[in-house]
A and B are shown apart, each in its own frame.
Chain A
Amino acid sequence: MGFLLGLITMAFAGIFLKLFYLQILNYPFYRSLSDTNSLRLIPQRAPRGIITDRNNEVLATNRPTYSLFLVPADVKAYGPSLQKLSELLEEPLSSLENLVESRRQRRKFEPVRLQSHLDPDLIARIEENRVHLPGVYIQMEPERYYPQGDLASHVLGYIGEINEDELARLRDSNHDEGDLIGKMGVERTYDRALKGEDGGVEVEVDASGIQRRTLAYREPVQGQTLKLSIDWKLQKLAEDLMGSQVGSIVVSNPQTGEVLALVSRPNFDPNEFVSGISYKDWNDLMKDKLHPLEDRAINGLYPPGSIFKPITALAALEDKVIDLNKVFLCTGIFWYKTWPYRCHNHAGHGWVNLERAIIESCDIFFNQVGLLVKVDKIYRVARRFGLGSRTQIDLDSEASGLVPNPRWKESTQHMPWFPGDTIHLSIGQGYLLTTPIQMLDVISGLAMDGKIFKPHLLYRILDHNTGRTVFEDPPDLLREAEIVPEDLAFLKATLEKVVSSPHGTGKKARIPGVRVAGKTGSAENPYGDDHGWFMAYAPAEDPKVAVLVMVENGGEGGIVAAPIAKRLMELELGQEVTPMEIPTPGTTPGEAGTPVPTPTAAKGATP
């Protein structure tokens, strides 16, 4: 009997030791297991910050939507729940099973968003079946909404679910899989400010995945409000004036660099991306030959054509190869060795000096200047105005363009620089490539006597709750192009005459009572009609607005672009806006109609 009692004592001692092992030695381990068993963190998405124009007009906000979530761990062992769900959602059971299966090992306690935009009917049916659907719940979340539709779409950009590259890139910030992130535009540039802080609810679930009670709640913090320098009214007018034409418009305040309007056409509706764009819609966007997602204002590379001529003029004057009295004969055609170069005025301008060559945009005058001036001089002046470099506007994937010089040509083309190349360059053709925003910098620089402020879209960042300004982007003087004052004075006076002179190519930009200075351009390109350019600033005595209009394959800049610029300046300067019929693309003939085949440098000018 003693032996028996001994056996029993040993058995009890064994149990005692095992209890000691479980409850004392391994308590933390089992405690954490028991917590993960029953605790679920249901993330609650923070509303993104609101984006407004400079006058508080809302460009991007949030609206509530009901989404359906599923916690893979809680539906795993309970097949009927998936069966029921597949009936309710009218989705094949296998796809739900695959989803759950794919999360079996990793992140099985994290909720997966199954569907957004639940209609009230479906919500009611799911709630009715509450008990049959453990691990499934409905939650209201804020969803991005762009009340203006496609207005300023390239400024705002769009948002989407974070991808693996972005996760790797933003490892330090608190991003998680499934987060929404700005993919383009200011949504991307200022994502950190707009993001806010996600909140969450800690709930207790029972063994069958049904939520029993709430243990803790952290309120999501809305992102900060972004106030853009964009002026909604100006933006709207610019978009309307552009109509269905392809191209770009940028309007800014040359004294600060604030961008008042930025248009790129064709555009898109960022609302389509909010809850995940459908495969078909994405494909359509990607296959669209006009690439609606591309921001032409900062990313489109074009030969600037005649709006480059002020730079050639400055280079020639600085190089002292011509003076203001120097004249060349324009007969409509100019032979260099055996190559003919034609002026857009086929009849010829006759004897022209620099002033008339700019006002009437004589190509042959500049062709001949090109034979005299050193190419490096043109290169250096162009670089002074920022061509060939990014303008550093607060948008991503900006292109830097190309200002060619002999060194560049030899190293990339393995060919020497020919005098013909300079002849092309002098009229803004050839290898030269610029973006619209760069040309806006050029005209701003001329308006401000060489001062170029960094163009920017951000006006202020406001705290969402207090409304106080937490960040302000002061004007940033990015470049100061050195120009001989007399040359500059001459050039600015001449640019005014482009608009005011009866023979000026920019006379369609004339505004009564306002001194407008500008330059037209019609850039040849291998894709069709000339690109119509117009750049301008006003009032000339104290520039308050700088405009750049570019219509792809639109024809003559003075005809398609100048009228648009005129109306934008009118609005910005508080004048009455002249009514205008929206032009249809590609109806007017080219301005610089040289029949000579241009070098292939215009590659990439149109996407």
Chain B
Amino acid sequence: MKGAIKSYLKGMDWAVASNVLVLSFIGFFVVFSATSHNFDITQPWKRQLFWFSISLFVMWLFSRIDYRFWIEASYIFYWVSIVSLLAVLVVGDETNGARRWIKIGILSYQPSELAKLSVLLVLARFIGSKTVELFFLGRLLLLMAMLGLPLLLILKQPDLGSALLLVPVSIILMYVGGVPFKWLTWLFVLGLASSPLVWHFLKDYQKERLEVFINPQDDPLGAGYNIIQSMIAIGSGGISGKGYMQGTQTQLSFIPEHHTDFIFSVVGEEWGFVGCVLILGLYFFMIQRTFEISRKARDREGSLLALGIASMFAVQIVINVGMTVGLLPVTGLTLPFISYGGSSLVFSYAAVGILLNISYANRRPVLVTGRG
């Protein structure tokens, strides 16, 4: 047993694992600072601690399960997530006009988190199992349909953030998987052409968010409030920040959603430029390591899965941080490992677990012959 643990620990990709642990550790303090002043009796930091321990277990578990299992079972996960996405539309808990959560006892579960992961798995399998030449229009259309179904269901909730996350990740996987660049260009043009249609389907508040992003000063107390307050918080942090638990924007609740979507504003205000760059550096290092794992992966699916996870994290980080600094519109995506929230944390760690397994697998002698 001892030897098993030892060999397990030895074989692990410590760079990625320690990286996310450090990020979670930082995140825990930021959540504490962001929520301690509230008269919130639920004490989010305690819940975060609970979910963090669950997540550690999940990461360990997933790192022990051969990632090929997930690849093989990807369609099952895919349909489970489709069903749960449908279920959330019917029985989901409605908050702020959106149905994103299913309550099971005291736990709430966010199907879109599962959907993100299962789409990654399906894509890795679908693209990974085919050779480059095998791509033709019919397959592409099938791929589009497979992507489109969960995407529409997520948009219906509506959860613009998760939907926006899936699109670039899928494009990246298709590109790497060998879908001709020409087709992707066409896809892009088609997407642009249909954007007025998409605009039509957007909820009013989503349209407002996009308009406000273009000019936040239009309505400083209304929809532009979030972006402005977040930028004020980050800007007023200066080089070294106002100090832990000292951010007025945070502690006096000027930043909305400061423990979830806008947690990076708290970092910016209380830890300053130094803290921001440190965290961005950790993220970048983690992504870069994940690319490395992907490059060294034993098979094509593993490589694509690692790449998918890396790009998912990358896109999520860029969209979230870009939103808080006023570079991108408000979408409602969390910052992985740092934002408060059980589902997000558990699924992020599950993804890291899979990553660890991929990296683990590529250091061992090949036991299962890959197809690619």
Contact = CB atoms under 8 A, between A and B. Distances in A.
Interface of A: 1, 4-5, 8-9, 11-12, 14-16, 18-20, 22-24, 26-27, 29-31, 33-35, 37-38, 76-77, 204-208, 212
B88 to A, nearest CB: 30
Contacts of A26: 235
Contact of A206 (B252, B295, B314, B327): B252
**Residue with the highest number of chain B CB atoms closer than 10 Å, among A20, A34, A38:** A34
Contacts of B307: 1, 4
A462 to B, nearest CB: 44
A12 B280 contact: yes
B291 A5 contact: yes
A33 B238 contact: no
B263 interface: no
A15 B236 contact: no
A205 B252 contact: yes
A24 B273 CA distance: 8
29 contacts: A1-B295, A4-B176, A5-B287, A5-B288, A8-B287, A8-B314, A8-B318, A11-B314, A11-B318, A12-B284, A14-B327, A15-B318, A15-B325, A19-B268, A19-B273, A19-B277, A22-B325, A22-B326, A23-B234, A23-B268, A24-B239, A30-B232, A33-B236, A34-B233, A37-B252, A206-B253, A206-B254, A208-B253, A212-B252
B248 interface: yes
Contacts of B233: 34
Nearest to A73: B221
Given A1-B295, A1-B307, A19-B268, A37 B254 contact: yes
Interface of B: 172, 176, 221, 229, 231-239, 248-249, 251-254, 268-269, 272-273, 276-277, 280, 283-284, 287-288, 291, 294-295, 307, 311, 314, 318, 321-322, 325-327
Contacts of A208: 253
Contact of A19 (B232, B234, B253): B234
Given A15-B325, A15-B327, A204 B276 contact: no
Contacts of B325: 15, 18-19, 22
Contact of B248 (A5, A12, A18, A37): A37
A214 to B, nearest CB: 14
Given A1-B295, A4-B172, A15-B280, A207 B253 contact: yes
Given A34-B249, A38-B254, 15 more contacts: A4-B291, A8-B311, A14-B322, A15-B321, A19-B325, A22-B325, A23-B238, A23-B268, A23-B273, A30-B232, A33-B236, A34-B235, A37-B232, A206-B253, A207-B254
A38 B234 contact: no
A30 B251 CA distance: 17
Contacts of B268: 19, 22-23
Contacts of B283: 12
A137 to B, nearest CB: 16
A205 B321 CA distance: 27
B294 A19 contact: no
Contacts of A206: 251-254
Contacts of B291: 1, 4-5
A204 B327 contact: no
A77 B221 CA distance: 7
Contacts of A33: 232, 235-236
Nearest to A131: B39
B348 to A, nearest CB: 17
Nearest to A14: B327
